[in-house]
Amino acid sequence: MPNVEVSLKDIGELVGKKLSLREFKEAVLYAKGEVDAVAGDIVTVDMKDTNRPDLLSAEGIAREIRSRLTRDRGIPVYRVRKSNVKLIVDKNVSGIRPCIAAAIVKNVKVSGNFLVQMIQLQEKVCLTFGRKRKEAAIGLYDWSKLRAPMHYRAYKPREKKFIPLEYKVEMDLDEILQEHPKGKEYAHLLEGYNRYPILEDAKGTVASMPPIINSQLTGKVSGKTKEVLVEVTGHNQETVNTALNVMVSALAERGFGIYSVEVKYPNRKIVTPDFSPKKVVVKIGDIREFSGLDMSNEQILDLLGKARYDVKISGKKVSCQYPAYRQDILHGVDVIEDVLISYGYDRIEPEPIKIAVVGEERPETKEADLVREMCIGMGLQEVLSFTMTSKEKQVEKIGLDGKKEKFVEIANPVSENYAVFRKRLFPELLDFLAKNKHCLYPQKIFEIGKVLELDSRSETGVSEKNVLCIALSGKGFNFTAAKSALQAIAENTGRKYSLKESNLPFLAKGRQAEIGIGNKKGVVGEVSAAVLRNFGLEQDTVLLEVEI
């Protein structure tokens, strides 16, 4: 969930009402925001709704709060003037990154807050709503350095050169993808294409290479910038438009002038930004029934107005128009939630639910608990370890052949310690013992948990089994002790077990056996000297591992 940094003073100015930290904390809940950290005037807010990119800036948060704290209601009105600037889209981008939208912002009064907020909003929108630039990549440019009309077209990798942001030398497009940090990070978005999209001006001056990087010369907004070109590229026109609307409506909140751009596709033309409201119809009865609240029509209309809807009742339905910077309303329930948020969750009385059904634990839970009780009866301490572990513990340390042993394996491990799922429980218990050599002996421990094995017959290709593992460590523990434990558990759970002499590498020769309890398998025996050495254990150690 994205964190957004805002200045409390800035928020106050945008809302038109000074807010204390406490007031802000309460108010930002309406925007599904939670204050995470405070450093002087700067507040970090965790914005939970990843489908509300419009809330990822001080401007957007302030807009949402304003309608709750003041008389401001409904869709905010932003005036859009025509700029007569055209953006011409070449047909050769259609198979690569086909959609674009743009706007020009004038009379920009650059302040510290504004620049920080614009860069933050651009980043966060690209990350969340833009799906890491795949669906929406945003560029901001110093419009004074570019000449209309703009062109969006694709070039071969060596055909075009420009100086990417934060660089001093010109690079061709392949060089950027291979060498520039942003190029490397986002190269996968252009993988498999023999041409790359370029945004350039009338004179062929490169503005950017979407969705990778802007030009150092034109694609940079600074304190001196008076006019800004905002542009968004992607694969879906609605998504691209929404992202542009989010950016531009935030700028409009600061009172800057918004000018439209005509985007000319080969076979059609559109004008962006398009602030025409979107529409959804909801049954009033549904709102009452879903919320469990007996609200009047007037109340519902006011609550929707607070949530920035423009509403009209027709018969039993309410027709809701909502701002063009939102794309999260998929269903009537989304509108109902906005009604409830406006109403205030803290004002709604919980109602107990009357459903008379009988609860039950899973059979495997009951079984595990039964076996757990036996182990405790034997004076063993239960331990709990992770199911993810290392091959080193599961293979090398217990003397198995790494080439033969296949595991359920993580593709993107953060650490080698959590790279595979355990196939056996006992190496984890031996590791536990190894970490506790300073504790008093005897050490008698057990764990009941899952082990995972590859199994092509399973729907997931994995079989997950519950096993019991007991490890006894201390002077004089031998095969008999381990077998006695097995016998105690088998007898007390009313099961018959059979043993078969075995020759497993991790157990001592002549002091080990394979267990069969019905169709369930296991092993019992004394840990071999070599394995004890591998784990650094000095005491006699025996183990028992069996499926339950």
Contacts (CB under 8 A) with other proteins, residues 309-368: 330-334, 336-337, 340-341, 345-346, 348-353, 355-362, 365
Q: In whole angstroms, what is the distance from residue 297 CA to residue 316 CA?
A: 10
What are the phi and psi torsion angles at 245 (to 5°)? -60, -40
Q: In whole angstroms, what is the distance from residue 395 CA to residue 532 CA?
A: 14
Closer to other proteins by Cβ: residue 191 or 459: 459
**Scanning residues 293 to 312, which ones bind other proteins (CB under 8 A)?**
293
**Scanning residues 16 to 75, which ones bind other proteins (CB under 8 A)?**
29-30, 32, 34, 48-52
**Scanning residues 419 to 458, which ones bind other proteins (CB under 8 A)?**
421, 431-432, 435-436, 439-440, 443-445, 447, 450, 452, 454
Question: Which residue do the tokens 């009309």 mark?
Answer: 149
Q: Does 292 bind other proteins (CB under 8 A)?
A: yes
Closer to other proteins by Cβ: residue 159 or 364: 364
What are the phi and psi torsion angles at 542 (to 5°)? -125, 160
Closer to other proteins by Cβ: residue 205 or 291: 291
Secondary structure E strands in 455-506: 462-473, 498-501
Q: In whole angstroms, what is the distance from residue 22 CA to residue 43 CA?
A: 11
What is the smallest separation between the CB atom of 121 and other proteins, expressed in angstroms? 16
Among 205, 387, 493, 539, binds other proteins (CB under 8 A): 387
Residues facing residue 543 across a β-bridge: 471, 525
Q: Does 169 bind other proteins (CB under 8 A)?
A: no
Among 194, 296, 314, 460, binds other proteins (CB under 8 A): 460
Q: If phi over 0 gives left and psi between -120 and 50 gives alpha, with beta otherwise, what is residue 469? A: beta
CA angle 12, 16, 18 (to 5 degrees): 40
Among 111, 381, 480, 484, binds other proteins (CB under 8 A): 381
Closer to other proteins by Cβ: residue 227 or 447: 447
What is the smallest separation between the CB atom of 379 and other proteins, expressed in angstroms? 4
Closer to other proteins by Cβ: residue 169 or 355: 355
What is the smallest separation between the CB atom of 127 and other proteins, expressed in angstroms? 7
What is the smallest separation between the CB atom of 310 and other proteins, expressed in angstroms? 19
CA-closest candidate to residue 253, choices 64, 69, 506, 101:
64
Q: Does 189 bind other proteins (CB under 8 A)?
A: no
For 276-306, b/e burial (b = at least 16 CB within 10 A) is: eebebebebebbbebbebebeeeebbbbbbb
What is the smallest separation between the CB atom of 146 and other proteins, expressed in angstroms? 31
Closer to other proteins by Cβ: residue 17 or 235: 235
Closer to other proteins by Cβ: residue 290 or 479: 290
Closer to other proteins by Cβ: residue 24 or 162: 24
What is the smallest separation between the CB atom of 162 and other proteins, expressed in angstroms? 29
**Scanning residues 223 to 242, which ones bind other proteins (CB under 8 A)?**
236, 238
Region binding other proteins by CB under 8 A among candidate stretches 138-146, 201-209, 382-390, 512-520: 382-390
What is the smallest separation between the CB atom of 220 and other proteins, expressed in angstroms? 26
Question: Which residue do the tokens 């009033």 mark?
Answer: 284
Give 474's DSSP letter: S
Secondary structure E strands in 179-277: 196-200, 206-209, 213-214, 228-234, 257-264, 269-272
For 174-193, b/e burial (b = at least 16 CB within 10 A) is: ebbbeebebbeebbebbeee
What is the smallest separation between the CB atom of 24 and other proteins, expressed in angstroms? 14
H or E stretch at 195: none
Question: Which residue type occupies 258?
Answer: I
Contact status, residue 193 vs residue 210, Cβ threshold 8 Å: no
Closer to other proteins by Cβ: residue 508 or 537: 537
Binding residues with other proteins: total (CB under 8 A): 95
Structure tokens, 194: 């023999």
Closer to other proteins by Cβ: residue 219 or 305: 305
